[in-house]
Amino acid sequence: MGYQLSFTQIWTNFDKLAEGLLLSLWLAFISILIGAVIGLVLAIWYVSAGRVARTLISAYVEFIRNVPLLLLVYLVFYGLPTAVNISYSAPVSFVVTLSLYAGAYLVEVFRSGLDAVPKGLLDAGKAMGLTPWQRLLYVRLPTMTRITLPALSNTFISLFKDTSIASVIAVPELTYGAQWINNKTFRIVEVYAVTTVLYVVTGYLILFGLRLLERRFRVER
Amino acid sequence: MDAIIYSLPFLMNGLGITLLVSAIVVALSLVVGVLLGIGLIYGPWPLRWLIRLLSDCIRGIPILVLIFVVYYGLPPLGLNLSSFWAAVLALTVFKSAHVIEYVRGAVTSIPRGQMEAGMAIGLIFPQRLRYVIFPQAMRRFLPPWLNGVTDAVKGSALVSLLGVVDLMQAINQVIGRTYEPLPLYILGALMYFAINYSLSTLSKVLERRYSYIRE
């Protein structure tokens, strides 16, 4: 006798998946916000920094980019509390990890974005008598934001997918919800089918929305 | 500290599995990805449509979920795989979708005229690919693909969640005995870093090496 598909158990427990999905989105959103702050500060610092600071920033970026996210999650959740005397919950720990992770990718994004701001714009700012600080705030950053928007949306989608790793430290996001339902009902094919569809559809809906946004703010060249 | 030195051979075994998984995944996904990539560019429209859909869907699924889908989802459908091969299959499917995109990016960056010129001198389709398109597309393909190899190595850490004793799982097992999470995770991170950093540096070198090519 073959496996009989039955989705009823999935729908009765659908709240686990729905809440999980919302938490996944929330984790990704918080992380990209904090990550963007980290990335922006380090990118601006990098552009004007000396050799030592540049090396340190590069070391941070390269370290995060070349180590599995899973290991970073373990490192922050299980490893760090043994060295520093702070206790934090699993979601907080995951947000910290994912923010640092996002920050490392966004430093590169913002750095190339800052470089891509046309020199003429900055010169124009200078000619108008803007101070360096004003040039950064009113000319360079707004232009850079519009240039980096596509990369930002891609990072957000990829962070949204990476939130599935939070399930290994029992953060109740979407993948954890799927595991929970599976442990309770054993409808394994169904629950992962629904979860997969949720990830793909949500991912593309966000992508579609962000692409509209990008078109609205695209830099004409 | 003694415990860590004592555990090193064990970690090396784990590292061997990590490298084995990565190597199989990279090799298989290269073959599958290149074939499907060619199908995506030159195939008849139903095939193109199918590959595009497949690639977009797979890249939309978190790799962890894909691993669970293959490992837990296939046995009820009548296909039993060991955890090792389930993980390899899932990572290969995931990686192939990325290779398809590298191939598409590399091949479509070659000007149309090259293909037409090949046609004009009487080369048949496989010859045009072999002698005209591939040698040029290779330079566009190698750097992103090498960078993608680091993703395969990083992704292979997820096989630990199926109980395969790769580097990640070996670290966790040593920690289970020594209760020294921080130094061991850092050691593990440095091992992954050493592999991936060399790969991504090589990728950057190649990219610079080939950057003279402009249309």
What is the CATH number for A20? 1.10.3720.10
All residues of chain B having their beta carbon less than 8 Å from the beta carbon of residue A164 are 62, 64-65
* Interchain CB distance below 8 Å, B65 and A178: yes
pTM of the model: 0.90
* Interchain CB distance below 8 Å, A164 and B65: yes
- Report yes or no on A168 lying in a domain: yes
B180: pLDDT strictly greater than 90: no
Comparing B177 with B98, the larger pLDDT belongs to B98
* Interchain CB distance below 8 Å, B158 and A70: yes
Nearest CA in chain A to B56: A200
By residue range, what is the domain housing residue A127? 8-217
Out of B66, B78, B185, closest to residue A71 by CB:
B185
**CA–CA separation, A40 and A46 (whole Å):** 10
Comparing B12 with A48, the larger pLDDT belongs to B12
Contact B117, B132 (CB under 8 A): yes
Q: Write down the pLDDT at residue B96.
A: 96
Q: What are phi and psi of B22, to 5 degrees?
A: -60, -45
Out of B60, B153, B192, closest to residue A204 by CB:
B60
Give domain B2-209's CATH superfamily: MetI-like (1.10.3720.10)
B25: pLDDT strictly greater than 90: yes
**CA–CA separation, B97 and B85 (whole Å):** 18
* Residue B157, token pair as written in the block: 């850490």
Give me the amino acid identity at B55: S
* Interchain CB distance below 8 Å, B78 and A2: yes
For residue B10, the Cα-to-chain-centroid distance in whole angstroms is 25
* Interchain CB distance below 8 Å, A161 and B61: yes
Q: Write down the pLDDT at residue B214.
A: 55
- Report yes or no on A2 lying in a domain: no
pLDDT, mean of residues B27-43: 94
Nearest CA in chain B to A165: B64
Nearest CA in chain B to A79: B182
Q: Write down the pLDDT at residue A87.
A: 81
pLDDT in tens, chain A (221 residues): 467 788 888 888 888 899 999 999 999 999 999 999 999 999 999 988 889 999 999 999 999 999 999 999 999 999 888 888 888 899 999 999 999 999 999 999 999 999 888 889 889 999 999 998 899 889 999 999 888 998 999 999 999 999 999 999 999 999 999 999 988 888 888 899 999 999 999 999 999 999 998 888 876 65
ipTM of the complex: 0.90
pLDDT digits (tens, 9 = 90+) for B101-132: 999 999 998 888 999 999 999 999 999 999 99
**CA–CA separation, B153 and B145 (whole Å):** 13
H or E element in which residue B61 lies: none
* Interchain CB distance below 8 Å, A199 and B61: yes
- Report yes or no on A1 lying in a domain: no
Please tell me the distance in Å from B166's CA to the nearest CA on chain A.
12
- Report yes or no on A122 lying in a domain: yes
Q: What is chain B's mean pLDDT, rounded? A: 91
- Alpha-carbon dihedral of residues B182, B186, B191, B193, nearest 10 degrees? 150
From residue A24, alpha-carbon distances to A161, B74, B97 in Å are: 8, 26, 24
**CA–CA separation, A151 and A158 (whole Å):** 11
Rounded to 5°, the CA angle A10-B94-B41 comes to 120
Q: Write down the pLDDT at residue B22.
A: 95
Q: Return the residue in A63, A71, A192 with the most chain B beta carbons within 10 A, the one to mutate for interface testing.
A: A71
- Report yes or no on A176 lying in a domain: yes
Query: In whole angstroms, how large is the CA radius of gyration of chain A?
Result: 21
All residues of chain A having their beta carbon less than 8 Å from the beta carbon of residue B157 are 68, 70-71
Out of B65, B150, B188, closest to residue A199 by CB:
B65
Across the A:B interface, residue pairs with CB atoms under 8 Å apart total 113
Residue B32: how many CA atoms within 13 Å on its side-chain side? 18
**CA–CA separation, A154 and A207 (whole Å):** 8
pLDDT digits (tens, 9 = 90+) for B39-71: 999 999 999 999 999 999 999 999 999 999 999
Contact A74, B160 (CB under 8 A): no
Contact B67, B162 (CB under 8 A): yes
Q: Is the dihedral of CA A189, A176, A151, B109 positive or negative?
A: negative
For residue A144, the Cα-to-chain-centroid distance in whole angstroms is 19
What domain count does chain A have? 1
Q: Return the residue in A76, A86, A196 with the most chain B beta carbons within 10 A, the one to mutate for interface testing.
A: A196
Nearest CA in chain A to B55: A200
Quick one: DSSP state of residue B44?
A: -
* Residue B155, token pair as written in the block: 């992704």
CA-closest candidate to residue A186, choices B61, B75, B80: B75
Nearest CA in chain A to B198: A66
- Report yes or no on A3 lying in a domain: no
* Residue B199, token pair as written in the block: 């790969």
Comparing B161 with B78, the larger pLDDT belongs to B161
* 3-state SS string for A195-206: HHHHHHHHHHHH
Rounded to 5°, the CA angle A191-A195-A199 comes to 175
Please tell me the distance in Å from A28's CA to the nearest CA on chain B.
13
